[in-house]
Amino acid sequence: CRCPLPRGDCSLSRLLRRLLSARRSLELCLFAFSSPQLARAVQLLHQRGVRVRVVTDAQSMEMRGSQIGLLRHAGIQVRHDQESGYMHHKFAIVDRRMLMTGSLNWTTQAIQNNRENVMVLEDHEYVKAFLDEFERIWEEYNPRNYRFF
Amino acid sequence: CRCPLPRGDCSLSRLLRRLLSARRSLELCLFAFSSPQLARAVQLLHQRGVRVRVVTDAQSMEMRGSQIGLLRHAGIQVRHDQESGYMHHKFAIVDRRMLMTGSLNWTTQAIQNNRENVMVLEDHEYVKAFLDEFERIWEEYNPRNYRFF
């Protein structure tokens, strides 16, 4: 990471540390996911037995460097939208108790070069609102509900 | 707006209502701003004497439909980045007391077609963190600090 902060304080390190604190569940609702470091952390959690679910945007999945194929290959459940609009959220929920959300897509470009924000919230009210949104999207993007005509 | 909610409940209406409650100041820190309705509201506030300051991304300013030129033409102060990375924030602060932030860029595409979130926070702690970030960026993007070589 090229950010000017001390190594342990940079946004990637902080995000990784919070992510790796997951013990039971991880919900990811991300427009774009192309950071190899974050993908490795998510795979590690999956291997440790954390229940990982990922929702993403179909168009961004096709972009160069997307880690979504790799996560699927590792056995992680991924669902994506079927709409022309973007699934533009960028949030993660750890153990149904910690919400991380903001402007940051999980890409190397965003982490290294952009001006971004990530809020970390543990208030039940916010966590529940985003968890409810996740469950709505998760069901809406269930392949059983695909319409081909 | 084509969203399925009752007219007064849709995200654009709610955003407009909160925006138009400004009496003294409005800070906008927006990657992309192309919604004509939101631009009209910002112009109206400027005409009412609210101190409006806008920070945006140079690349997105060049995109079709950007309202930034129009805001500048109306006499509103706008500053933009000078970097290859994006100024990717999407937040607004009303009267130094209400923060609106999330995944939503202020574009018609995002409002009408995307899956997005906007959080509204009035806790001093959050408002202050984003206000501090705004002031840092405002000074950093001061044209006096431009480096041409």
- Residue B101 in domain: yes
**What are the structure tokens assigned to B77, written together?**
């102060």
Among A117, A118, A121, A141, the strongest candidate for a mutation testing the B interface, having the largest count of B CBs within 10 A, is A117
Q: Give the pLDDT confidence score for residue A149 in this predicted structure.
A: 59
d(CA A105, CA A16): 14
State yes or no: is A128 an active-site residue. Answer: no
Confidence of residue A118 (pLDDT cuts 50, 70, 90): very high
Terminal-residue alpha carbon distance, chain B: 45
Question: Would residue B149 count as lying in a domain?
Answer: no
C-alpha span between B118 and B3 (Å, rounded) = 15
Is residue B1 domain-resident?
A: no
pLDDT tens digit sequence for A49-104:
999 999 999 999 999 999 999 999 999 999 999 888 999 999 999 999 999 999 99
B108: chain A residues, CB-CB within 8 Å: none
Residue A126 to residue A99: CA distance in whole angstroms: 8
Q: Which residues of B, range 32-61, sit inside 8 Å of A by Cβ? A: none
The reply to whether A30 touches chain B by the CB within 8 Å rule is no
Assess if residue A3 is contained within a domain.
Answer: no
Count of domains forming chain A:
1
Q: Tell me the ipTM for this assembly.
A: 0.90
Q: Which of B88, B111, B123 to mutate to test the interface with A (most CBs of A within 10 A)?
A: B88
Q: Which residues contact A23 (CB under 8 A, 6 or more apart)?
A: A50, A95
pTM score, whole prediction:
0.92
CATH at residue B39: 3.30.870.10
Q: Give the CA dihedral B130, B131, B136, B137, nearest 10 degrees.
A: 70
C-alpha A92 chain-centroid distance: 5
Domain that holds residue B66: 11-144
Percentage of chain A lying above the pLDDT 70 cut: 92
Quick one: B16 exposed, middle or buried, by C-beta within 10 A (0-12, 13-18, 19+)?
middle
For the stretch B80-114, pLDDT in tens is 998 889 999 999 999 999 999 999 999 999 999 99
The minimal CB distance from B113 to the residues A84, A114, A116 is found for: A84
